[in-house]
Amino acid sequence: MSNNRRASDELVRVIPIGGLGEIGKNMMLIEYVSGRETDAIIIDAGIMFPENDMLGVDYIIPDFRAVQDKFDNVRGVIITHGHEDHTGAIAHVMEHINAPVYATPLTRGLIEVKLKSAHLLDQTTLVTIQAGESVRLGAFTIEFFHVCHSIPDCVGLGITTPLGLMVHTGDFKFDHTPVDGWPTDFGKLAEFSQRGVLALFADSTNSDRAGWTPSESVIDPAFDQVFSQAKGRIIVATFASLISRIQQVANATMRHGRKIVVTGYSMVENTRMARELGYLDIPDDMLIDMNTARQLPNDEIVIMTTGSQGEPSAGLGRLSQGRHYHLEIEPLDTVVISAHPIPGNEELVSRTINKLIQRGAEVIWDPVMPVHVSGHASREELKLLINMIRPTFFVPVHGELRHLHMHAKLAMTLGIPEENIAVVENGTILEFTGESMSVGDRIPGGYVFVDGSGVGDVGPEVLRDREILGRHGFVIVSLTLDGRSNQLIGKPELISRGFEYLRESRELLNDARDAVAEVVYSNGHHSARSLRREVEKKLDRFFYKETKRRPMVFAFINEV
Amino acid sequence: MSNNRRASDELVRVIPIGGLGEIGKNMMLIEYVSGRETDAIIIDAGIMFPENDMLGVDYIIPDFRAVQDKFDNVRGVIITHGHEDHTGAIAHVMEHINAPVYATPLTRGLIEVKLKSAHLLDQTTLVTIQAGESVRLGAFTIEFFHVCHSIPDCVGLGITTPLGLMVHTGDFKFDHTPVDGWPTDFGKLAEFSQRGVLALFADSTNSDRAGWTPSESVIDPAFDQVFSQAKGRIIVATFASLISRIQQVANATMRHGRKIVVTGYSMVENTRMARELGYLDIPDDMLIDMNTARQLPNDEIVIMTTGSQGEPSAGLGRLSQGRHYHLEIEPLDTVVISAHPIPGNEELVSRTINKLIQRGAEVIWDPVMPVHVSGHASREELKLLINMIRPTFFVPVHGELRHLHMHAKLAMTLGIPEENIAVVENGTILEFTGESMSVGDRIPGGYVFVDGSGVGDVGPEVLRDREILGRHGFVIVSLTLDGRSNQLIGKPELISRGFEYLRESRELLNDARDAVAEVVYSNGHHSARSLRREVEKKLDRFFYKETKRRPMVFAFINEV
């Protein structure tokens, strides 16, 4: 590396950004700092999905507020591939950054849709790159290399910094027989290794899985078996972005003389774009719409749908509940769930399967037949990667803390010294010189929840209230008081939701009214405010005693 | 079978009872009906755990209301083993039944605790039975045979009815080297087979797992490795009822010269009882309390705790959040999670692991080392069972619908004719004659939710309200109107919870007040009721337009 500055002036900082959850997956900032200049790049701009107890949250964006002062130095935003957890926050990020976005053609196509709906497409510069190319972004030179994953056109990054070469795998696996015939670029990895790699940032998602992740091509024989046994329609559910799976289903459809219907807005859009860009090869006459399908015998139809995660409002979820707009499960239907549950969705997926069986469908999912494989490298692949690259420093990323730890231990068994491995959480700054890596401060940050049109306005307090309301509901009492005599006028009015039907619990309702009246009369001289508090306290204790539940209680006092 | 009645008069009915979820697991009623008599038995009285979206529900009991008219005919209630999903509803069931409860000593001990806290122990007849014994209950003769599972003292049932022999496995696995040295009673199964089995009811929980469930003894070497590497305290989390695991931990503790502390009310109680009854062999001097432990060096301490499912309020959950009463994670602690997540708990368990790692603990769970095995038979065991018994009719039970289907298909591959297999849901009546099995009507029934002290008073409507409140919160507006002039007196008062902080959204609050005022003034002549509806509608639309959320909106109108 040509380098005429004093080493002590120079630093490369790497900051994974996000809340708890997967580390460095959604967004990462790398900056080069010297006496004279500061250059930064951003890798990925994705979203997290809310956990089961983050009630009402639609999605979560990386909390980049603490690094926003660095955004003026950003020379480029690089998106490694087209999945939501790497692209979904692009509009939120590009609102604040004036630099080009670099992506491969398919990834660019998927990003454009998002920027367009946020009215940011016109003001964003998008640069199409191809694996094998390189771009210069300030002090950084980025070499894009092809990696296999579960969507085509993924890249990893060779990032030449003034202090050394860093390799970032993106999401990857070593599939020797991928659907698109384009394996991970082993040659490039070997070449990096020969140049000497200062630091490796590698995908840890499957660091708890032994062996080698099966190739996508193992799915084809399973599909063939399903297709040859199916007596009626075949309905295949998968992710809308799993372009290679759509190709595999289309191939099986062709082999078995059927026609294919693609349903669901995002899947239809992705299919259209991927065909236009040449990432999907489906002949025109094989792709039909639902109305045409209705004219065909059932055993000539394949329907592709979303909802493989059991989401109640997506295609498969609606089918399982009998609430689909255009479709209803029929007894000879075969439903293939070509996906694994994302952690946290296991219960929803099981329930969906049970309901589909209840409606008479034959359901095929992973334990029944291998109709899905993971898109992430397992332990033997991770070993191969580390031994091909032999980096000086190793930083496991893209996984929960527990995955990072397992990945770190795996690296130790390969001889990477413990002190050269950094397991860090989102927000922790890693500082590299040409010779050292150190763990720096942690920037503040947490979750930025997106709920409806609100970004960041729902915080932990609101979520806590939602949890209480969701568990116990609430009761409101409204009472009118004669201001002079402090006597109740009429009966206190009670309404409740999520607690229990007070209409059906007349006794409880009457006793609650009595309890309120008791407070009013035993508490002769008081302000409306103190009476309100007293009434709320009394009812809270009353309901807990009677039901062992704690609904939120609110009192309204009207003095007349 | 001696049988002097006309076959057409006689019938054995089998009714699995419960909601959606695992079939026949929590409760099953079997009745024999002839012209002259009706006898019934009940197998198990357990609870279901609520799914993630059943907000606020503590647990679910089988909905037995539709069979309650048969309770007078019940000659005995048989509990196959001591797990919550087979015992947890015993008090709810025994409130309505006047017949003895039959259980092995350990199971009886666990049931007694439940009956006692429900003040039903005195009025319930408990009969201790041992595997190998048999009892006559009306027209039925029940032979109890030992099966292995993940708690000691489990039994399966040979049920001789006037129409033939039925075999019910209970929860089981074929462990050749169980911790207590007592394998499943193969001899009895072979003997049943020789007598001829009319129907087999078999555990389907693991019908989606290939191969043979590993023996509990494979855990010992894993524990030895963990214990020999641990530099500080070892904290082992498992189910409070997993007595054999407690024994294995105690054995490892002894082998490695440590002492053991058992924490958590239910685990302490179970340990005490199991030791008294001779199911746990832990020398007195090995079992210490937390205060004694504090005097010892860390590397001589083993702590057993609950919370292996990531429950935030159980031992391990509290430790992971730094909210435990007596303990705090220290950097050299090793935490062993000796359990698998129950479906639906995966996310909670992962989060707990991440938080423990964050606090500096070394965490060992299944992918890291084999520190847990399942208590249920896998596919090869299920095949062996069917081929040992060779029943005329086969009924997969104890699993979700998808497990039952896989189990049914497995039975077909072994030559059981499809028409002799019944995959049914809870509530469906199966009718047996000596020669036939037919699927009868379905009794009405669903979930009976227990929330606080309420049993069945929380229904689907309340849960739906809880879901809305949990997702979007609510807003209440209270306004005072001059009854003659229909003019607002003062400003409308708004409060909200779970929506957003109106205090911090002054503009939204003011606009909402304006919207309310607009309705009042544009709506000159109206009843309070119609005004209330108008205000609620207006605010609903206003908030959706502004935030794309739909909090519940309630208006109170006070006319003065």
Do residues B492 and B513 lie in contact, with contact meaning Cβ atoms separated by under 8 Å? yes
A32 and A174 share one domain: yes
For residue A79, what are the contacts with CB-CB under 8 A and spacing of at least 6? Answer: A44, A45, A86, A87, A90, A101, A102, A103, A107, A111
Domain end marker among B364, B399, B429: B364
Distance of CA B392 to the CA centre of its chain: 31
What is residue A325's predicted lDDT score, i.e. its pLDDT?
Answer: 85
Check if the beta carbon of residue B103 is closer than 8 Å to that of residue B94.
no
Instruction: Tell me if B400 and A476 make a contact (CB, 8 A cut-off).
Output: no
A369 lies in a domain? no
| Contact between chains at B466 and A461 (C-beta distance less than 8 A) | no
Q: Show the domain range for A247.
A: 217-364
Mean pLDDT of chain B: 92
Q: Do B406 and A368 touch (CB under 8 A)?
A: yes
pLDDT given at position B524 = 63
Using a CB-CB cut-off of 8 Å, the residues of chain A touching B54 are none
Residue A418 in contact with partner chain B when CB distance is under 8 A: no
Same domain, A408 and A356: no
B464 is a domain residue? no
Q: For residue A55, give the chain B residue with the closest CA.
A: B471
Q: Each residue of A235-266: pLDDT tens digit?
A: 999 999 889 999 999 999 999 999 999 999 88
**Partner A contacted by B438 (CB < 8 A):** no
Nearest by CB to residue B357, choosing from A353, A402, A468, is: A402
Using alpha carbons, select from B319, B392, B422 the residue that is nearest to residue B361. Answer: B319
**Looking at the complex, does the CB of residue B558 fall below 8 Å from at least one CB of chain A?**
yes
* B223 neighbors B248 (Cβ within 8 angstroms): yes
Are B470 and A465 in contact (CB < 8 Å)? no
User: Which candidate, B352, B301, B295, B351, places its Cα nearest to that of B324?
Assistant: B352
CB contact under 8 A, A469 and B466: yes
Please say if A119 is a catalytic residue: no
* Chain-chain contact of A470 with B466 (C-beta, under 8 angstroms): yes
Q: Which helix (H) or strand (E) holds B355?
A: helix B346-358
Of A5 and A433, the one with more pLDDT:
A433
Q: Does the beta carbon of A358 lie under 8 angstroms from any beta carbon of chain B?
A: yes
In a domain, A5, yes or no: no
Instruction: Of B294, B243, B231, give the one whose Cα is nearest residue B269.
Output: B243
Among the partner-chain residues A210, A469, A500, the one whose CB lies closest to the CB of B473 is A469
Instruction: Name every chain B residue with its beta carbon within 8 A of the beta carbon of A451.
Output: 547, 549
Residues A495 and A540 in one domain: yes
Specify whether B134 is located in the same domain as B262. Answer: no
Residue in B56, B452, B493 closest to A470 by CB: B56
Residues B37 and B96 in one domain: yes
The verdict on residue B403 lying in a domain is: yes
- Torsion sign (Cα): B169, B170, B173, B174: negative
Residue A461 domain-assigned (yes or no):
no
Contact B383, B219 (CB under 8 A): no
Q: What is the mean pLDDT of chain A?
A: 92
Q: At what angle do helices A243-255 and A219-229 cross, to 10 degrees?
A: 40
Is A290 in the same domain as A174?
no
What are the tens digits of pLDDT across the range B357-406? 999 999 999 889 999 999 999 999 999 999 999 999 999 999 999 999 99
Alpha-carbon gap, residue A349 to A316, rounded angstroms: 10
CATH number at residue B44: 3.60.15.10
Name the token pair of A225. Answer: 């078996």
- Split into its structural domains, chain A has a count of 3
**A376 carries an active-site annotation:** yes
* Close Cβ partners of A464 (under 8 Å, ≥ 6 residues apart): none
- Above 60 in pLDDT, residue A283? yes
Q: How far is A54 from chain B (nearest CA, A)?
A: 9
Predicted pLDDT of residue A8: 59
- Give the list of residues 6+ apart from residue B497 with CB closer than 8 angstroms, or none: A465, A468, A469, A474, A552, B473, B474
CB under 8 A, 24+ apart: contacts of A510-517: A511/A542, A511/A546, A512/A475, A512/A477, A512/A539, A512/A542, A512/A543, A515/A539, A515/A542, A516/A477, A516/A479, A516/A492, A516/A555, A517/A488, A517/A492
What is the ipTM, given to two decimal places?
Answer: 0.88
Reference A471, options B376, B342, B476, B469; nearest CA is B469
End residue of a domain, out of B340, B364, B388: B364
| CA nearest to B449, candidates B118, B55, B28 | B55
- Give percent helix, percent strand, percent coil of chain A, each to the nearest 5: 35, 25, 40
| Tokens 């993106």 -> residue | A170
A interface mutation test: which of B466, B541, B542, B550 has the most A CBs within 10 A? B466
Per-residue pLDDT of chain B (560 residues; tens, 9 = 90+): 334 444 458 999 999 998 777 899 999 999 999 988 899 999 999 999 888 888 888 899 999 999 999 999 999 999 999 999 999 999 999 999 999 999 999 999 999 989 998 999 999 999 999 999 999 999 999 999 999 999 999 999 999 999 999 999 999 999 999 988 999 999 999 999 999 999 999 999 999 999 999 999 999 999 999 999 999 999 999 999 889 999 999 999 999 999 999 999 889 999 999 999 999 999 999 999 999 999 999 999 999 999 999 988 899 999 999 999 889 999 999 999 999 998 889 999 999 999 999 999 999 998 899 999 999 999 999 999 999 999 999 999 999 999 999 999 999 999 999 999 999 999 999 999 999 999 999 988 878 888 888 888 888 889 999 999 999 999 999 888 887 887 888 888 888 999 977 667 888 889 999 999 988 888 665 677 888 999 999 999 999 999 899 999 999 888 87
The answer to whether A454 contacts B354, with C-beta atoms less than 8 Å apart, is no
Q: What is the CATH number of the domain that holds B490?
A: 3.10.20.580
Residues of A in contact with B402 (CB under 8 A): 350, 353-354, 357, 363, 365
Q: Is residue A106 part of a domain?
A: yes
User: Which of A52, A457, A560 is nearest residue B347 as measured by Cβ atoms?
Assistant: A52
In this predicted structure, what is the pLDDT of residue B5? 43
B174 Cβ under 8 Å from any chain A Cβ: no
Between CA A398 and CA A25 the distance in angstroms is 5
Q: Could you list the active site residues of B?
A: 203, 376
pLDDT at A159 over 80: yes
Q: Which two tokens stand for residue A72?
A: 């003026």
**Same domain flag for B135 and B283:** no
Domain match, A313 and A402 both: no
- For residue A509, tell me if it sits in a domain: yes
Please provide residue B46's backbone torsions phi and psi, each rounded to the nearest 5 degrees.
-110, 175
Contact A13, A440 (CB under 8 A): yes
CATH number assigned to the domain comprising residue A358? 3.40.50.10710
b/e per residue B480-517 (b: at least 16 CB within 10 A): bbeeeeeebeeebebebbbbbbbeebeebbeebbebbb
Strand, helix or coil at B83?
coil
Same domain? For B422 and B312 the reply is no
Query: Which two structure tokens, joined as six digits, stand for B417?
Result: 């004719």
pLDDT score, position A554: 92
Query: Which one of B117, B347, B449, B461 would you mutate to disrupt binding with A, by most A Cβ within 10 Å of its Cβ?
Result: B347
User: Based on the domain organization, do A142 and A58 belong to the same domain?
Assistant: yes
B454/A548 touch (CB, cutoff 8 Å), yes or no:
yes
User: What pLDDT is recorded for position A50?
Assistant: 86
Is residue A36 a part of any domain in this protein? yes
A-facing residues of B in 496-555 (CB < 8 A) are 497-501, 504-505, 546-549, 552, 554
Token pair 């696995």 is found at B173
State whether A461 and B501 contact (CB < 8 Å).
yes
Cβ atoms of A73 and A51 within 8 Å: the answer is: no
Residue A7 has pLDDT above 60, yes or no: no
- Please judge whether A549 and B451 are an interchain contact, meaning their C-beta atoms are less than 8 angstroms apart: yes
Quick one: average pLDDT of A163-188?
96
Q: Are residues A200 and A221 in the same domain?
A: no
- A–B interface: beta-carbon pairs under 8 A: 194
Q: Tell whether A23 and A126 lie within a shared domain.
A: yes
CB neighbours of residue B3 within 10 Å: 12
Instruction: Give the closest-approach CA distance of B348 to chain A in angstroms.
Output: 8
Task: Please pick, among A63, A85, A153, A203, the residue that the annotation labels catalytic.
Answer: A203
Q: Which of B337, B364, B391 is the last residue of a domain?
A: B364
